[in-house]
């Protein structure tokens, strides 16, 4: 047992402040447990469970609140997914083609080819991972004709809108001629040293 | 131990009886150690109501773990270690933080309810205190609540009158010299803060 009335505190003294600290600590800690502690403990032992019900409820509420918060954050996040292209070729009859629906004429020559296959997008800056399912449409352009239908093309690749570029002859570039650098000759005037005056300095 | 008065039996005897299933023997252990356990809990949580709860939990846990007590140390020391762990868990618990945050008796949320302890202490103040000393006592009590936890725990545990420094060392898991240093440092910090308030640092 530690009798504080006789204990010499480590570093303590007999000053007024020391007495005040001793008294304050004594007053704070000289509290007895409420009566009936033994009965309460024994009844807990008999019940075989500690008092955790209210705590469990609180933890459950906290967990639910956290789950709702996380769900709200996830739902509010902007979609940053990219296309999950699997490399499958799309049917040319679907509406998967870009929105430019210029009809393809037989006389059109392809001047620009997409760098990727039909299953890929070459130039789009937006990368998505999701595969956007598009409904299969029989023909959005109406009845098929050999003129406009891509199936009339004897190609196996998808038909991209063709950019018609008039033929231009290659630009003639004159060879670059670099004229030699002509520098004038340097003329250095002779240094004339004046003769010292007669009679010295 | 039939025929032996419970009060004559040692703590170890009662522990052996309780381990054999004698719940009343454990009840006697509760009676003998209730003050030490309660004050240890009070030093940590700062609130008599929470200290009572922690005390009950500590005894229940001790009863459940009684089979692990081998008698190598004093029963009270072992019990106080359990109590301190329970009290620390309570002090860190989120539910306690929520309870303190929404308590209508406070103007602002408090981390440690040591102002409750201040109210308890003022009721027990003697009549002979002068007005100046009362103000000093109030300041000291308030400043104790502002001490770093390690220093405050050591100071209050040493001031309970129920715990030896060896027991405090076991509870806090710190060497004996460290415990004594913390008590000394707590007092030094308090005196420095009181001097800053205008009280003479003697």
Q: B147 falls in which pLDDT band (50, 70, 90)?
A: very high
Cβ distance of B155 and A62 shorter than 8 Å:
no
Query: Which has the minimum average pLDDT: A14-18, B44-48, B53-57?
Result: A14-18
- Shortest distance between the Cα of A60 and any Cα of chain B, in A, equals 11
Average pLDDT, rounded, for chain B: 84
- Shortest distance between the Cα of A122 and any Cα of chain B, in A, equals 54
Report helix, strand or coil for B50.
helix
Across A63-80, average pLDDT: 88
Q: Which of residues 1-20 of B touch A (CB under 8 A)?
A: none
Across A146-163, average pLDDT: 61
Closest by Cβ to A41, choosing from B42, B60, B187: B60
Q: A179 falls in which pLDDT band (50, 70, 90)?
A: confident
Structure-model confidence comparison of residues A177 and B114, the more confident one: A177
| Bridge partners (DSSP) listed for residue A5 | none
| Whole-angstrom distance, CA of residue B198 vs CA of residue B189 | 14
B170 Cβ partners below 8 Å, 6+ apart? B73, B77, B80, B81
Q: Is B79 on the interface with A (CB under 8 A)?
A: no
**Which pLDDT belongs to residue A120?**
47
Cβ distance of B144 and A59 shorter than 8 Å:
no
State yes or no: pLDDT of B114 exceeds 70.
no
DSSP code string of chain A: ---TTT---TT--SSHHHHHHHHHHHHHH--PPPTTHHHHHHHHHHHTS-S-HHHHHHHHHHHHHHHHHHHHHHHHSPP--B-----PPPPTTSTTS-S--PPPPTT---S---SS-TTS-SS-S---BS-------S-TTSS--TTT-GGGSS-SSPPPPPPP----PPPP-PPP--PPP--PPP--PPP-PPPPPTT--
Q: Is B56 on the interface with A (CB under 8 A)?
A: yes
Cβ distance of A24 and B141 shorter than 8 Å:
yes
**Which pLDDT belongs to residue B90?**
92
Closest by Cβ to B161, choosing from A4, A9, A21: A4
Q: Which of residues 7-26 of A touch B (CB under 8 A)?
A: 7, 9-13, 15-18, 20-26
Residues B65-89 pLDDT 10s: 999 998 888 999 999 999 999 999 9
Find, among B53, B38, B58, the residue nearest to A31 by Cα: B38
Residue B11 has which token pair? 């703590």
Q: Model-level pTM? A: 0.55
Cβ distance of A25 and B95 shorter than 8 Å:
no
Q: Is A3 on the interface with B (CB under 8 A)?
A: yes
ipTM: 0.79
Show residues of chain A in contact with B117, CB under 8 Å: 28
For residues B125-144, b (16+ Cβ closer than 10 Å) or e, as one string? Answer: eeeeeeeebeebbebbbebb
Structure-model confidence comparison of residues B167 and A178, the more confident one: B167
The answer to whether the beta carbons of residues A19 and B137 sit under 8 Å apart is no
């Amino acid at each position: 047992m530690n009798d504080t009335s006789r204990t010499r505190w480590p570093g303590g003294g007999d000053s007024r402040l020391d007495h005040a600290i001793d008294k304050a600590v004594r007053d704070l800690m000289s509290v007895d447990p409420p009566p009936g502690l033994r009965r309460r403990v024994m009844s807990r032992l008999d019940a075989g469970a500690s008092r955790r019900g209210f705590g469990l409820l609180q933890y459950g509420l906290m967990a639910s609140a956290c789950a709702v918060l996380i769900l709200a954050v996830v739902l509010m996040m902007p979609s940053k997914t990219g296309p999950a292209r699997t490399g499958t070729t799309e049917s040319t009859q679907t509406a998967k083609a870009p929105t430019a629906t210029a009809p393809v004429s037989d006389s059109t020559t392809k001047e620009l080819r997409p760098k990727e296959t039909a299953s890929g997008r070459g130039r789009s800056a937006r990368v998505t991972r999701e595969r956007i399912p598009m409904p299969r449409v029989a023909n959005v352009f109406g009845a098929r004709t050999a003129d406009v239908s891509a199936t009339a093309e004897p190609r196996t690749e998808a038909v991209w809108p063709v950019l018609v570029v008039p033929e231009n002859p290659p630009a003639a570039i004159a060879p670059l001629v670099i004229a030699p650098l002509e520098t004038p000759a340097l003329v250095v005037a002779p240094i004339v040293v004046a003769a010292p005056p007669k009679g010295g300095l | 131990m039939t025929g032996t008065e419970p009060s004559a039996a040692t703590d170890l005897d009662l522990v052996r009886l309780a381990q054999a299933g004698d719940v009343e023997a454990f009840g006697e252990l509760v009676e003998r150690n209730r003050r030490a356990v309660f004050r240890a809990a009070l030093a940590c949580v700062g609130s008599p109501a929470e200290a009572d709860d922690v005390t009950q939990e500590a005894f229940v846990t001790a009863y459940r773990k009684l089979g692990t007590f081998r008698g190598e140390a004093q029963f009270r020391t072992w019990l106080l270690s359990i109590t301190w762990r329970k009290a620390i868990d309570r002090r860190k618990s989120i539910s306690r933080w929520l309870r303190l945050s929404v308590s209508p008796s406070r103007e602002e949320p408090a981390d440690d309810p040591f102002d409750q302890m201040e109210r308890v202490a003022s009721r027990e103040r003697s009549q002979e205190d002068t007005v100046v000393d009362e103000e000093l006592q109030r300041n000291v009590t308030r400043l104790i609540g502002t001490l770093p936890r390690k220093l405050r725990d050591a100071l209050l545990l040493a001031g309970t009158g129920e715990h030896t420094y060896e027991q405090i060392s076991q509870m806090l898991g710190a060497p004996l010299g460290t415990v004594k240093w913390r008590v000394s440092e707590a007092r030094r910090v308090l005196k420095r803060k009181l001097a800053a308030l205008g009280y003479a640092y003697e």
